[in-house]
Every structure is written in C-alpha cells, then in structure tokens.
Structure 1
C-alpha cells in the first residue's frame, strides 16, 4: 500500500513555493505589510518545524522534557499574543494568564479522565492544540475589546459618569465583542465533517488509525478547544476590565 503521509522532497518544495507565492500575492493585494508578514511567517514555519522535527524525538523520550517543551510553547504563545494585543511583550504580559488558564486545566482534565493517555506522544500534541487555541482566542478577544473601547470611548465615559465602575463599564460595552473571539472555533465545530476534516482527524488517519478513532479524537479536540478558548476569552475580558492591559482610559491617564 502506498504511504499516505506527506514526505519531504522536491514535490513538497514545489508545492510550498507555489502556495507561498499565492499567499503573498493575495496579501499584497490587501496590504503590502500583510504580504511581507505572510512571507516571514512561511520562512519561520519552515525553520521552526525543521528544528522541532529534529528535537521532538528527544523531547518525547522524557516526561520532564515534554513538560519543559509545553512551558516553552506557553511562553512563546504569550509573547505572540502580547504583541497582537498591546504591541509590546512587557505591557501585554498579563495575556499569559488566559492562555495558561485556558489550556492547562483542560489538558489536566483530559488526562485525569484518561480520555487522553498519559503518554508524551499523546500529551504534547494535545497541549499544543489547546495552547494554540487559547492564544488565538486571547489575541482576538483582546484586540476586539480594546478596539471597542476606543470606538465607544464616549459611552464608556458616560457609563462611569452614571456611577458604574471601570470594570462594570467595560463589561457592559465589551461582552459581545469578546464572544466574537469564539466564532472560528464555533464554526469549525459546527461544520466538522461537513465542510472540513481538521488536523486531528487527518493526523490519526495518516498515522494508521481507523476512521472511528479519528472521529473520536477530533470530537474530543474540538470540544476541548471550545472550553479552553471560552476560558481564555472570559479571562481576557476580565483582565482588561480590571485595567491590567492598557485601555484608552489608562493611556489617557
């Protein structure tokens, strides 16, 4: 039987080149800066995945090395989200909380229920998926909330004038837009199997698993992602409402 896995070689290089050029051209049509960011993202992905592919075999041999790699993923996710939300890591260091609180408790619950076996080869990819989802939700929620506070700053000040606290005013204005951060995860969950076959499903199939195992794995991942991203979005809203990230009001002060 022919190997179903994607293999490194000239065919992969050619496909990546065509896809990268296509992405860059679409980005250039939208905005030149996005085009450059797409190219940079592809180059980084190639280098990072090459390094991870080399190191992962060593990491998976030790639970402690796996735990250390998860901490590294959390650190990078927090730094990435901080730049998206506040443009600097120092000002956005609080975003590490929703990412960590979104991903780690859900991972712990999956391990405690034995839904995910306590083996490094299973724990590491699930942790990566959850951390990535929590990072995306944190970035989306943070940017939408801060944009909403800038756009509706007059309403925010009016809410304060009638006696609401800064937290109450922020929650009143921004709850709805914070929920918008969950739209990608909701759409993916609603359409799974009908529009998309996400990564976990395909990965299990490529690894030799049965369609039933692939479906069970994907269902677990999707529901876990919803929970992790929901926690991350709520905590991002609460952190901004508490004044832990710069808002138009704190910047003016």
Structure 2
C-alpha cells in the first residue's frame, strides 16, 4: 500500500500542473462565457494556494499556544468581517457592520460546542471548527446583506409607500427586504438536506481518512452541519435587521 493511500489526493510532481490547468480552465470558461469573473477565478485559485500553504505552516506552530490560537481565530474573524462587509456595500460606508452578524452567529454556537464538552478545547480542533462557522456566517452575511440592500434600492418606491401608510422606517424596510434576504439560508439548507445522498462533506471525509469509523465520521459531520445552520440563521437575521436599520447604506439624503 502506498504512502498516499491515507489521503484523497496523491501528492506527485504532476499535482501542481493539474491544479494550474484546472484554474486556467475555470478562468477560460468564465471568460468565454462572459461571466465577468475570468481573471478573478484564476487569481482566487492562486491566492488559495499561497494562503493555504502559509496557513499550513502557521497552524503547526499556533496549535501549541492558547494565546496564538485565540489570535489566529480573531484574525480569521477580521478577514471574514472585512470580506463580507465589502461584498454587501461594494466598498461603500458601513461595511464594518458586517462583523456583528458574523460574531453573533459564530460566538454562541462555538461557545455551546466548547462549553458542553462536545468539542475539545485543543487548538487543532477549535481552529477548523471556528473556521467552518466563520466561513458559513461570512457567506450568509454577504448574501443576505447584498440581496437586502439591492432589494431596498430597486423597490424604494414601495418602501416610501409603506412609510406613507404609517409604517416605521425599520418596519417598512423589513417588509421589503426580508423575503429576499432569507434566500441566503438556501445553500446551507440544501447542504444539510442532501448530506449523504448527494455529497459527503469535508468533515465526514476528513474524519474517516483520519481513522475513525463511518459512524463516528457521520456524528462529527452531523454536529458540524447543525451548528453551521444555526450560526448562519443567526447571522442572516442580524444582517437583515442591520440593513433594515440603514447600517449598510448611506443616509437617505445621500442617495438622491
């Protein structure tokens, strides 16, 4: 049995070539299909390679020190908040508010998992789980925020009509943007509904390859999926509330 049998990917001299070819293929297809993201696909793949390489080296040192683990999680949180905020506002005012829904979704779920003893407090466990939760909340915040902001911009007349009927500004905005923003939960819902039938997510496969039984891997994946769905639900609700209160948009006078 080869040394690479415990891994899903065989690390051979051909691997970098295959990765580059796949990145080029994705970029070419996006460019030819006029999706507007041809270059972004290639640069995203290159960034992922560089960042994962650096993170792999850093984590080997970080997991040995509690303070370093905390700092690394805070760094991930900062990047998630910045990325989600820029997606929602396209660089406009108020992007820093994205940190609130991400924290509101991640912190209590992570606290429940760690405080109950379900998740060990070792850095090698906490870091990936925190990363999964932060990544999910980033996606939920960015999708919900962007959809809500665009909906309010496109249906401004309906918001003003609701105000004329006596609605408070927050309530008028909420009636318009909430149904659209709720769609941010659809990817997480679909992933949870179809797990084991369509896909075997990374946590399941990783634990399985680590030597655990399929039952143990299934339990780990179930906990991750349920925790992720709960975190994203909180992040989505908080995001919609912030959009309805105008935290991601300039004052009404500046929009005219």
Q: TM-score, normalised by structure 1?
A: 0.95
Q: Deviations over 1:4-24 (max 9, x none)?
A: 213544232122122112211
Q: Say whether residues 1:236 and 2:243 are aligned partners.
A: no
Q: 1:22 to 1:77 in 2, by over 3 A?
A: same
* Superposed structure 1 runs of 4+ greater than 6 Å apart: none
Match of 1:39 in 2: 42
- Matched with 1:164 is 167
2:223 matches 1:220: yes
User: Quick one: structure 1 residues 181 and 69, their matched pair in 2 at CA, closer, same or farther if it must change by over 3 Å?
Assistant: same
Deviation digits for residues 19-51 of structure 1, max 9, x if unmatched? Answer: 112211221133363011111101110110110
Q: Once the 2 structures are TM-superposed, how far is the Cα of residue 189 of structure 1 from its aligned partner?
A: 0.3
Name the CA distance, whole Å, in 2 between partners of 1:108 and 1:64: 17
The aligned runs of 1:141-160 (5 Å cut-off) are 141-160=144-163
Partner of 1:102: 105
1:216-250, CA deviations, whole angstroms, 9 ceiling, x for partnerless residues? 11100000011000000000001111111106836
- The reply on whether 1:130 has 2:145 as its aligned counterpart is no
Question: Cα offset for 1:107?
Answer: 0.4
Is contact 2:93–2:250 with CA below 8 Å preserved after alignment? Answer: no
SS in structure 2 opposite 1:197? coil
Whether 1:50 aligns to 2:20 is no
Shift of 1:89: 7.2
TM-score (norm 2): 0.94
**Which residue pairs with 1:4 in the alignment?**
6
Asked if 1 retains the 8 angstrom alpha-carbon contact of 2:93 and 2:248, the reply is no
Q: Which one is further off, 71-80 or 22-31?
A: 22-31
Is 1:88 the counterpart of 2:91? The answer is yes
| Higher deviation after alignment, 12-21 or 186-195 | 12-21
Q: How many residues align?
A: 253
Q: Give distance in 2, aligned partners of 1:24 and 1:125.
A: 29
- Corresponding position of 2:208: 205
Please report how far the alpha carbon of residue 179 of structure 1 lies from its aligned counterpart in structure 2 after TM superposition: 1.1
22-31 vs 197-206, which moves further: 22-31
Note the 1:101-120 alignment, pairs <5 A. 101-120=104-123
Structure 1 alignment gaps of length 5 or more: none
Superposition CA RMSD, Å? 1.6
